[in-house]
Amino acid sequence: RSMQSLFHLAIHITDLDAARQFYGGVLGCTEGRSTDTWVDFDFFGHQLSLHLGKPFETTRTGKVGDHMVMMPHIGAVLRLDDWLALSDRLTQNGVEFDIPPVIRFEGEPGEQRTMFFFDPSGTPIEIKGFRDFDGLFAS
């Protein structure tokens, strides 16, 4: 049995107000502690710290199935009903998808839904949806 823990990630963003509007207002993440140079969010159960600075460089070099995805990227894995609700929320808020909501590896181990989009600082975000979390590491 693997040790259970929460994940913490700290990344650079260019604008705290835009980050608050996106992560809090659009994604629905709860804001935590902050100062005038950073803000924490409960990013789907994990701690995401957004600090003012130069965002990390990305390139479209990740070949996954039929897609070339932005690397590196951040993300989360949701239960399918939560993923569907978030997909609708993003669409209703006019978020432009890099890879629109799609089923990947259909009928195979690890079948999942996925979608890619960017935060206001250009950080690529992937949100996966699984009907059953037991399939997350299936091979």
pLDDT in tens, the chain (139 residues): 678 889 999 999 999 999 999 999 999 999 999 999 999 999 999 999 999 999 999 999 999 878 899 999 999 999 999 999 999 999 999 999 999 999 888 888 778 899 999 999 999 999 999 987 776 777 6
Q: Output the pTM of the full model.
A: 0.92
Whole-Å CA distances, 98 to 41, 44, 52, 58, 70: 23, 21, 24, 13, 9
